Amino acid sequence: MRLFACLLLFALFASVSALAEGDATRGEYLYRAAGGCGCHTDRAGGGAELAGGRAMKTPFGTFYSTNITADAETGIGRWSDEDFIAAMTRGVAPHGRHLFPVFPYPSFAGMTRADLLDLKAYLFAQPAVRQPNRPHEVWPPFGWRWPLPVWKWLNLPLSVPTLPPARRDDPLVARGSYLVNALGHCAECHTPRNLMGGLRNGLFLAGSSDGPEGELAPNITPHKPTGLGGWSARDITWLLESGFKPDGDDVQGLMAESIEHGYGHLTLQDRDAIAAYLGTIPAVDRKVSKSSKNKGRK
C-alpha cells in the first residue's frame, strides 16, 4: 500500500513537473505565431539568434533589444517560469525591474499560461549565447524606469474593440483575435501611439507613421481605400504566407522579417483566422504616410 502511494505521488510529481516545463515543439509554433521574435536578433549586424543587441529606433531614442537566450549570465537562463510569465505579462523582470513597453508585453499579457510556458521551453531549447546587453540610448524621461508603473497605470491594459454580435461566437474569429492581439502583437506596430508611447486605442490597427525602426506600418483596418478594404480574406492570408500584396508588390523591413521567421510558418487555418478577425474590426478612415506625420493625426 505504501509502495503504491509512493508510486502515485511520484507519478503525480512527474506529471506536474512535465507540465511546468512546457512543450518546446508547441513552443516553436507559438514563437512563429509571435512573429519569430526578430527584434531580438541583430540580423543586419550578423548577431547570434535571440542574443539581442538589435537597435530599435523609436521617437524616444534607440532601445537595444536584450539577450533572450538561456545563457545564465547575460540572457534569461536563470529565470523561473514565474519570472518569465511576469516579464511577458506585466513587464516586470526579476528583482522588480520594470521593462520598457518597446517590448510588447501589453499584447503578450493576453497569452495563456500554457502557451507562455511552451514558448519559454522553446527559447530554453535554443543555443545559449553569451552576449551582454547594451544600454539603451533614450532621452529622459523615457529612459527612466521609475515612472514606468505610472505609465502602465495610464496605458494598460491593451484595449481591443469588442466583436460585432454576429461574429462573437465564431471560433475562427476568436482564434484570429488571439493570434492578432496576444501572439502576433500586430497592434504594437500597426496602432499609432500617443506622446507617451501608449497605444491610441481608438485608432486600433489604423496605421502608424512612426513604427519600430522608424518604419511606416500601414492601416490594416477594413477601411476602403485607406486600409485593407479592397483586399479579400484570401489576399490577407496570402500576404501572411508569402509577403506579397494583391498588387504584386512585396512587403519590406520588419513585416517581411516577421513573415519569413514567423507568420509565414502558421497553418493555413490560422492565417485564415487572422484574416477573418481583421474583417471584423472597426474600419478607420486614416491615410498614413511618412510626410503626413502629425498633420494626418486624428
Binding site for ligand HEC (CB under 6 A): 35, 180, 184-186, 188-190, 211-212, 215, 217-218, 220, 228, 236, 239, 245, 251-255, 258, 263, 274
**Closest CB to ligand HEC among residues 155, 219:** 219
All cell numbers assigned to 80: 523561473
**Helices H / strands E in the chain, number of each:** 11, 5
The residues near 202 (Cβ < 8 Å, ≥ 6 apart) are none
Side chain identity, residue 104: P
Is the CB of 68 or the CB of 180 nearer to ligand HEC? 180
CB of 144 to ligand HEC, least distance (A): 25
Grid cell 511576469 — which residue? 86
| Residue nearer to ligand HEC on the CB measure, 128 or 273 | 273
Nearer residue to ligand HEC within complex by CB, 101 or 211: 211
CA distances from 256 to 24, 123, 178, 181 (A): 25, 22, 21, 19
* C-beta of 185 vs 286, nearer to ligand HEC: 185
Residue 284, C-beta contacts closer than 8 angstroms, at least 6 positions apart: 203, 204, 205, 206, 219, 221, 223, 226, 227
- What's the min distance (Å) between Cβ of 14 and ligand HEC? 37
Q: Which is nearer to ligand HEC, 86 or 180 (CB)?
A: 180
CB of 191 to ligand HEC, least distance (A): 10
**Which CB atom, from 86 or from 274, has the smaller least distance to ligand HEC?**
274
Cell numbers 545559449 correspond to what residue?
A: 128
Rounded-to-integer distance, Cα 125 and Cα 130, Å: 15
Q: Considering the complex, what minimum distance in angstroms separates the CB of residue 39 from ligand HEC?
A: 7
Q: How far is the CB of 211 from ligand HEC (least distance, A)?
A: 5
Closest approach, Cβ 67 to ligand HEC, in A, equals 19
Sheet holding 61-64, edge to edge: 55-58, 61-64, 137-138
CB of 133 to ligand HEC, least distance (A): 20
Point out which residues pair with 56 in neighbouring strands: 63
Are the C-beta atoms of 262 and 35 separated by less than 8 Å? Answer: yes
**Positions of E strands within the chain:** 55-58, 61-64, 92-93, 97-98, 137-138
